[in-house]
A and B are shown apart, each in its own frame.
Chain A
Amino acid sequence: MSESQNPEISAVKAHDISRVFEMPAGPVHALRRVSVTVRPGDYVSVVGPSGCGKSTLLHLLGCIDVPTTGSVLVNGIDVSTLSDAERSALRLRHIGFVFQRFFLLPMLTASENVELPQAEAGVARAERRARTRELLEYVGLADRASHRPAELSGGEMQRVAIARALANGPTLLLADEPTGELDQSTGAQIASLFDRLNADGTALVIVTHDPDVAARARRTLRMRDGEIVEESA
């Protein structure tokens, strides 16, 4: 069993992390001594009012930001010991991101958007084409592979973004308000897709304002003023 598949090792573990943003008007404490452990196969939702630190927590768990104090371990590796390039490599192979605004590259087709992280990881062309086809089928968009984002609906764009996030087979998928730009029905379809993803073994952390989406997770972290005030299973 590989290290990433070992249930004893967390997919990501944040220990006593704080994040302070230095602003002209004075320091802003976005996170205050938060500790979270996400194990392989976990399904966690993070809820709370705007500005409570949900996205900041997600960014720190995803190694795109570094805590002011405390430590974050991904697959047992303390990310504070890694260089920027090493953190990029870690994200490329172990962490997937889904964003509220999709952030697909507009000049690329759906399949090219999904291929992009694989190409970056050095996956051979034939292999990444097969994987892309498989992922687009998984998210139900095999017939839209050659369409550009402008030719897709919001829900379709988000499904392409999910396929892109899964491109290199991450053990952890982080989603920041993934249904925030979608209507309720489309949001529910995306949430169902996340359920299926988790059932297939991917650990998920979803930041959301939508109580229906949050309720699908096995664990919910409620935040307020930069702290986790409640954890419900």
Chain B
Amino acid sequence: MIGRAIAFAWLRVRREPGRLALGVIGVTAIGALLFDMLLLSNGLLVSFRERLDRSGFDVRAVASESAVIAGPPIEDASRKLAALRGEPSIAAVQRVRLGSADIAGTPPGRHVTVAGVDLAAPVPWTILEGGMASSNIPEPLIINRNLSRVLHLTIGSPVVLNGRCGSGSRPLPVDATVAAIAEFENDASDALTAASSSSLVGALCGERADEADMLLIQSNPARGGPNAAAAAVRTRLPGLHALTNDQIVDRFSRVEFSYFRQLSSVLTAVTLFFGLLLIAVLLTVSVNQQLGEIAALRALGFSRARVMAGVLCESALLIGIGGIAAIPVGGLLSLWLDAILRSLPGIPADARFFVFTTHAVLVHAALLGAGAVLAAVYPMRLVAALPIATTLRREVVS
């Protein structure tokens, strides 16, 4: 019966191109928005995860559980680093200290973020030009492309950094030399970023404290991977909070991204509702226009289930065709929207808001499938409850 209902529904929708176009265009437009909402609801998280993985570090340790990087600094960082380097589950450890500085020529209101690391350990950036190995300069500075472009800095350029250390503080300027141009993890497209040794970042504000804002850890895959490395950090340094990339993503998903997700879910529900409404109205109008024909089909022997299946199949076809068309349309739309969002200030250049995933396609298909059924409920009820004799009589009299 379903095969016959599908064949008949397909014939009907093909023979009524106006209705087909109206339904498909409407569902495509609404479906594209729905698809984008699904890409958006998970995209930032997927992108965040990709960026974490790309950095090469799979465990991060901080001094406070409250936030990944905005908490208090890790005291006595060198000793802690040395303690972790002896752990078999840990392949490498890096420390990160963040500071802020002005460089002569920096545009008004703009400051340079300076990351202080252990230059001998694996670093969280990718060298594009120059390098550390060949440089014998005492205070090498690694800068991003943006800083290089804005201040016309090249490899070997001398730089004077003035630390931004709060009101009333006037630290001595620190000299450095550009050793490399690099791409930094989590860099915003307009960010002015530099990196050097931890001691240079400490010197920016005249501090001698051995502190770090975060420890970045590469686990040893042969010795239990990130979970074992995180467990080792917790055992060795109980005062630190170690999180694997999985745990960071999970925490962001539950806490930081939850509002974003709720917003996306509400917009998805509203979009889906209007899609359902459109198809339900189209089908209901179509059924109401053909009550006589439907009653005649019933009189000729079409069962109640068969005419209901016909309406359901029409709904599925209209929503199915529109839903499939919505994927490429939504994909193109998401590229445009993604470019707009990524151009916002402070957004990491490699962040993506809309990420195409199989999961999003499957949810899109499931939602539209459920939508096809829901949209057909009322018109199906109309044809199911249609009194054959009364309808035929009424159609003749009217």
Per-position binary interface string of chain A over residues 75-113, scored 1 when its CB falls under 8 Å from any chain B CB and 0 otherwise:
000000000110011111101110111011111100010
Q: What residues of chain B lie closer than 8 Å to A107, measured between beta carbons? A: 11-12, 15-16
Interface residue SS majority, chain B: helix
Q: What residues of chain B lie closer than 8 Å to A89, measured between beta carbons? A: 301, 303
B292 touches A103 (CB 8 A): yes
A85 touches B303 (CB 8 A): yes
**Residues in A lying within 8 Å of B, measured CB to CB:** 55-56, 59, 62, 64-65, 84-85, 88-93, 95-97, 99-101, 103-108, 112, 116-117, 119-121, 164-165, 168, 176-177, 180
A92 to chain B, nearest CB (A): 3
B396 touches A101 (CB 8 A): yes
Whether A65 touches B293, Cβ cut-off 8 Å, given contacts A91-B301, A108-B11, A177-B396, is no
A120 touches B16 (CB 8 A): no
Q: What residues of chain A lie closer than 8 Å to B301, measured between beta carbons? A: 88-93, 95, 117, 120-121, 168
B304 touches A64 (CB 8 A): no
> Which chain B residue has the least Cβ–Cβ distance from A64?
B388
A165 touches B4 (CB 8 A): no
B11 touches A84 (CB 8 A): no
> Which chain B residue has the least Cβ–Cβ distance from A106?
B293
A26 to chain B, nearest CB (A): 17
**Taking the complex as formed, is B393 at the interface, i.e. its CB lies under 8 A from any CB of chain A?**
yes
B299 touches A62 (CB 8 A): yes
Q: What residues of chain A lie closer than 8 Å to B395, measured between beta carbons? A: 101, 103
Q: What residues of chain A lie closer than 8 Å to B389, measured between beta carbons? A: 55-56, 59, 64-65
**Taking the complex as formed, is B300 at the interface, i.e. its CB lies under 8 A from any CB of chain A?**
yes
Bound Cα distance from A97 to B389, whole angstroms: 12
288-329 of chain B: CB within 8 A of chain A: 290, 292-293, 295-306
B293 touches A103 (CB 8 A): yes
Whether A84 touches B304, Cβ cut-off 8 Å, given contacts A64-B299, A65-B388, A107-B11, is yes
> Which chain B residue has the least Cβ–Cβ distance from A59?
B389
Q: What residues of chain B lie closer than 8 Å to A59, measured between beta carbons? A: 388-389, 392
Residue in A90, A99, A120 whose CB lies within 8 Å of B392: A99
Q: What residues of chain A lie closer than 8 Å to B11, measured between beta carbons? A: 107-108, 112
B299 touches A91 (CB 8 A): yes
Q: What residues of chain B lie closer than 8 Å to A164, measured between beta carbons? A: 300
Bound Cα distance from A195 to B395, whole angstroms: 27
Q: What residues of chain B lie closer than 8 Å to A112, measured between beta carbons? A: 11
> Which chain A residue has the least Cβ–Cβ distance from B307?
A88
Residue in B7, B300, B302 whose CB lies within 8 Å of A165: B300
A85 touches B305 (CB 8 A): yes
Q: What residues of chain B lie closer than 8 Å to A177, measured between beta carbons? A: 396
